[in-house]
């Protein structure tokens, strides 16, 4: 096999490579600067920042708005949230019009002293912001002794009024930066048809600093960082944990004309982000992001979460989620499957309340099974799962706005799923007129009571029926009310779809797959939140703000890519009279008008 000569001559091949016409950095269109400036202004984060910085001693310095716009442009063009890259963008890549917008002076490219002075202004402006929001400002240039670092780390956990206020303000700024693209996408109608399904996940947010050293007695520069362990992993990642909520979608059921496909098409945006120490406030952080979505008026549907959220206490996660109106789709660990407890006589089987006389073999069909067997069940397990479906309590009403549901005995109602001698004896249903069953119709024969599973009772109960007062509550009154938290500790295991059933598989599996796809996009595409070298600023305040800016640009890119691929008429941008901040503007359009003085 012969190769071209240029392949055999490396130097000649390098000389033939295309080169840019000039070594000067490319100029950023004014429309792109106007777009990110529009998003930043309409997020409302600058209002909170300006109010916090007002009245602080010292000169005002470079506006925080200029620094944040520079970081957003550096993320878009260089996939970096480093202040050094933001300085290069502000100094070398802006046109005169946008320089005037952002108060960036004209500096000669060959004047190193002037360039260094401007960079120092950028760093001081960002440091002024992080200092104002930090509950306990510390020296971020060296590793503190463990005892001294513990005092500063405690400010992120204690209940001091000023510490709580600053932590809440920092999270409000982060929420506004993240939600600005969500609000605009919702206003534009990109969530039309979305059922409000949300996927919650906590992912590692690595730090580039060294961890604490017990031998030397020194803490890490990131005093609130720790070791994040992903599910099934024995090796931790040193840094913080980022709680991300994504807009996901379930699948159509098997009997639907579009079975197996997504129920709605929409951009899978990140709806919320919270940065925290690993292993702390996993449930409350997810609840906070859900509460931040309430003012937007988005639909409320299912919430799918992995086993880290299943392990949360009821009062920290499940109860709040249900009160917000969301239904839960959860997974379980090996020791959590099977019979999990009971409530008012009903048995909690894999997250669903069932008849107290459900056969033990069916109730324990998943007891002790490993994850591999559960994810790919054999035919025998599938038959057992299908056989226990009729014994589950039926939903009669709800959930209401408080998360309360009313459940009914499977033998009660006009369409019972089982026949129960105990129920017939306790309630004595009236005998109706004889009905004619069409034996040639499978639907008619399956609906007859004689075709329903029969609940088996003990021979002693059959011979000597106990008094009604001794029967379980679900048997005496076939309808029960279940409120969030009524089941106590085991309420964290309750969910709204039968575990491993068709409805659960159509909801949990695709929603979790979409959640993992979002994690892959934020870590493997243009902007990588898992690369600590792209966000070298010190401190948790700085990392929280940079994470929010990263999510903002990831959402913006997701919206633009989704519009190009799903709406052919928007692949080329028409002439626009009003700039909405989402549609890419023409190159000859100068974005927004200059901001007022």
Look at the chain and report how many structural domains it folds into: 3
Look up tokens 């670092």; give the residue.
Answer: 149
- Polymer length in residues for the chain: 597
Q: Is residue 544 part of a domain?
A: yes
Kindly state whether residues 179 and 115 are assigned to the same domain. no
Query: Do the beta carbons of residue 403 and residue 389 sit within 8 Å?
Result: no
Distance CA 354, CA 346 (A): 6
Q: Which residues contact 355 (CB under 8 A, 6 or more apart)?
A: 346, 347, 391, 392, 393, 409, 410, 411, 418, 420, 455, 474
Q: What is the pLDDT of residue 438?
A: 63
Q: What is the pLDDT of residue 578?
A: 36
Q: Provide the token pair at 471.
A: 């029967």
Q: What is the pLDDT of residue 545?
A: 96
Kindly state whether residues 340 and 489 are assigned to the same domain. yes
Q: What is the pLDDT of residue 68?
A: 96
Kindly state whether residues 175 and 323 are assigned to the same domain. yes
DSSP state of 396: E
Kindly state whether residues 157 and 296 are assigned to the same domain. yes
Q: What is the pLDDT of residue 488?
A: 87
Question: Within a 10 A sphere around the Cβ of 14, how many other Cβ atoms?
Answer: 9
Phi and psi torsions of 282, nearest 5°: -65, -50
* DSSP-based three-state secondary structure for 435: coil
Kindly state whether residues 360 and 383 are assigned to the same domain. yes
How confident is the model over 101-122, as pLDDT tens digits? 898 998 888 889 999 999 999 9
Mark out the alpha helices in 198-340 (DSSP H runs): 282-293, 307-310, 318-323
Q: Is residue 584 part of a domain?
A: no
Give residue 502's domain range.
145-330+495-568
Kindly state whether residues 126 and 173 are assigned to the same domain. no
Nearest-CA neighbor of 282 among 312, 306, 302, 303? 312
Kindly state whether residues 390 and 500 are assigned to the same domain. no
Distance CA 347, CA 356 (A): 5
Distance CA 151, CA 217 (A): 15
Compute the chain's Rg from CA coordinates: 30
What are the 10-residue block averages of pLDDT along the chain, 597 residues in total? Answer: 58 69 76 92 93 84 93 94 94 91 88 92 93 86 87 89 94 96 91 91 91 88 89 83 94 85 89 93 94 93 92 91 92 91 92 92 91 88 92 87 87 86 79 64 62 81 84 89 89 92 92 90 88 91 95 94 71 36 37 41
Q: Is residue 412 part of a domain?
A: yes
Kindly state whether residues 86 and 230 are assigned to the same domain. no
Mark out the alpha helices in 218-370 (DSSP H runs): 282-293, 307-310, 318-323, 360-363
Q: Is residue 351 part of a domain?
A: yes
* DSSP-based three-state secondary structure for 131: helix
Q: What is the pLDDT of residue 460?
A: 84
Could you list the beta-strand ranges (E) of 383-437.
394-397, 405-408
Distance CA 513, CA 1 (A): 45
Write the DSSP assignment of 174-200 as a string of letters: HHHHHHHHHHHHHHHTTTTT----EEE
Kindly state whether residues 507 and 544 are assigned to the same domain. yes
Kindly state whether residues 379 and 519 are assigned to the same domain. no
Q: Is residue 575 part of a domain?
A: no
Q: Provide the token pair at 12.
A: 């000649």
Distance CA 447, CA 482 (A): 28
Give the CA-trace dihedral at 535, 537, 540, 542, to 10 degrees: -90
Distance CA 332, CA 310 (A): 7
Q: Is residue 445 part of a domain?
A: no
Q: What is the pLDDT of residue 524?
A: 80
Kindly state whether residues 532 and 553 are assigned to the same domain. yes
Q: Is residue 88 part of a domain?
A: yes
Q: What is the separation, in whole angstroms, between the first and last Cα of the chain?
A: 69
Q: Is residue 457 part of a domain?
A: no
Kindly state whether residues 205 and 316 are assigned to the same domain. yes
Q: Which residues contact 196 (CB under 8 A, 6 or more apart)?
A: 298, 299, 300, 301, 302, 326
Q: What is the 3-state secondary structure (H, E, C) of 60-76?
A: CCCCHHHHHHHHHHHHH
Q: What is the pLDDT of residue 137?
A: 84
């Amino acid at each position: 096999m012969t190769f071209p000569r240029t392949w055999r001559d490396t130097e000649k091949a390098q000389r033939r490579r295309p080169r840019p016409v000039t070594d000067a950095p490319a100029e950023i269109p004014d429309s792109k600067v106007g777009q990110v400036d529009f998003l930043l202004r309409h997020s409302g984060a600058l209002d909170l920042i300006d109010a916090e910085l007002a009245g602080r001693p010292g000169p005002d310095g470079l506006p925080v708005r200029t620094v944040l716009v520079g970081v957003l442009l550096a993320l878009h063009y260089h996939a970096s949230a480093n202040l050094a890259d933001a300085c290069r963008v502000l100094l070398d890549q802006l046109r005169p019009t946008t320089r005037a917008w952002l108060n960036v002076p004209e500096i000669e490219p060959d004047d190193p002293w002037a360039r260094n002075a401007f960079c120092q202004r950028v760093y001081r402006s960002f440091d002024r912001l992080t200092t104002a929001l930090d509950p306990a400002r510390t020296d971020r240039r060296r590793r503190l002794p463990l005892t001294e670092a513990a005092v500063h780390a405690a400010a992120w956990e204690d209940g001091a009024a000023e510490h709580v206020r600053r932590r809440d303000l920092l999270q409000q700024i982060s929420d506004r930066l993240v939600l600005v693209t969500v609000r605009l996408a919702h206003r534009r109608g990109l969530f039309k048809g979305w059922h409000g399904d949300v996927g919650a996940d906590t992912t590692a947010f690595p730090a580039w600093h060294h961890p604490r050293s017990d031998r030397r007695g020194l803490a890490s520069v990131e005093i609130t960082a720790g070791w994040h362990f992903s599910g099934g992993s024995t090796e931790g990642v040193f840094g913080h944990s980022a709680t991300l909520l994504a807009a996901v979608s379930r699948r159509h059921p098997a009997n639907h004309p579009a079975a197996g496909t997504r129920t709605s098409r929409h951009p899978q945006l990140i709806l919320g982000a919270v940065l925290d120490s690993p292993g702390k406030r996993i449930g409350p952080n997810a609840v906070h992001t859900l509460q931040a979505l309430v003012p937007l008026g988005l639909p409320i549907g299912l919430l799918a979460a992995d086993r880290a959220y299943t392990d949360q206490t009821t009062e920290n996660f499940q109860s709040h989620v249900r009160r917000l109106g969301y239904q839960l789709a959860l997974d379980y660990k090996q020791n959590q499957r099977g019979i999990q407890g009971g409530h008012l006589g009903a048995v909690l089987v894999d997250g669903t309340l069932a008849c107290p006389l459900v056969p033990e073999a069916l109730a324990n069909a998943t007891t002790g099974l490993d994850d591999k067997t559960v994810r790919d069940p054999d035919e025998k397990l599938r038959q057992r799962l299908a056989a226990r479906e009729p014994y589950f309590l039926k939903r009669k009403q709800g959930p209401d706005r408080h998360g309360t549901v009313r459940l009914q005995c499977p033998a009660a109602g006009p369409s019972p799923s089982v026949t129960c001698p105990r129920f017939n004896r306790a309630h004595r249903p009236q005998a109706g007129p004889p009905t004619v069953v069409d034996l040639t119709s499978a639907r008619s024969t399956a609906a007859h009571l004689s075709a329903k599973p029969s609940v088996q009772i003990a021979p002693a109960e059959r011979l000597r029926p106990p008094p009604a007062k001794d029967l379980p509550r679900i048997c005496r009154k076939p309808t029960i009310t279940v409120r969030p938290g009524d089941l106590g500790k085991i309420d964290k295991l309750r969910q709204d779809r039968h575990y491993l059933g068709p409805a659960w598989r159509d909801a949990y599996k695709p929603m979790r797959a979409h959640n993992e796809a979002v994690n892959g996009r934020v870590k493997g595409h243009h902007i990588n939140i898992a690369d600590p070298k792209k966000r070298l600023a010190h401190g948790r305040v700085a990392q929280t703000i940079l994470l929010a800016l990263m999510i903002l640009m990831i959402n913006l890119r997701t919206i633009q890519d989704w519009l190009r691929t799903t709406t052919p008429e928007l692949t080329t941008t028409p002439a626009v009279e009003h700039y909405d901040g989402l549609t890419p503007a023409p190159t000859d359009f100068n974005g927004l008008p200059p901001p007022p003085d």
